[in-house]
Amino acid sequence: MLNTYKKNTTQIQGRLSVWLAKHQLAHRPLGFDYQGVEILQIRSENWLSIAVALYIYGFNYLRSQCAYDVAPGGLLASVYHFTKIQDNADQPEEICIKIFVSRQNPKIPSIFWIWKSADFQERESYDMLGIAYENHPRLKRILMPDTWIGWPLRKDYIVPDFYELQDAY
């Protein structure tokens, strides 16, 4: 088992990465996760053309989109998981896309117009981390009230008017 794991981690470029390179689409292979799903890093400015290429390649299902704060004061990441759904597929092909953006100007093109299921998922990432998904038709807060200040899932977020319990006595 250990040898198989080492063999998989040394191969950093998967089938989709080879296909994207063949078509001169900019990306950076990040290897594979523990289930063997290929992980690619895409720059924000290249995301729409890569997203269209993924759809043409057959990734017709956006399984999930999430975002996280990489480090306090550092980059923010938006992560997409796609699956290629076909008839009678018992092992559908999957791909993970990571897009890293600066927290000072976190903008990523929305893929809502390609995969409608990105609607609430991109809105939640906007609401919690402040990543602006450009050209999203309804990019507004979905979990927090409209009057909320800041982005609660950022690691450097300070809750406004928060007092420790011991200060209340």
- Which pLDDT tens digit goes with each residue over 43-94? 999 999 999 999 999 999 999 999 999 998 999 999 999 999 988 878 899 9
The answer to the question of residue 9 being in a domain is: no
Q: Give the CATH number for residue 143.
A: 3.30.460.80
Query: How crowded is the C-beta side of 26, counted as CA atoms within 13 Å?
Result: 9
Residue 104, domain member (yes or no): yes
* pLDDT score of 8: 44
Q: Cα torsion at 147, 134, 155, 32 (round to 10°)?
A: 150
Contact 152, 128 (CB under 8 A): yes
CB of 160 within 8 A of CB of 149? Answer: yes
Q: Does position 154 have pLDDT exceeding 90, yes or no?
A: yes
Domain region containing 81? 15-165
What tokens were used for 129? 């981390």
159 part of a folded domain: yes
Beta bridge partners of 96: 39, 81
Q: What is the pTM of this model?
A: 0.86
Total domains, the chain: 1
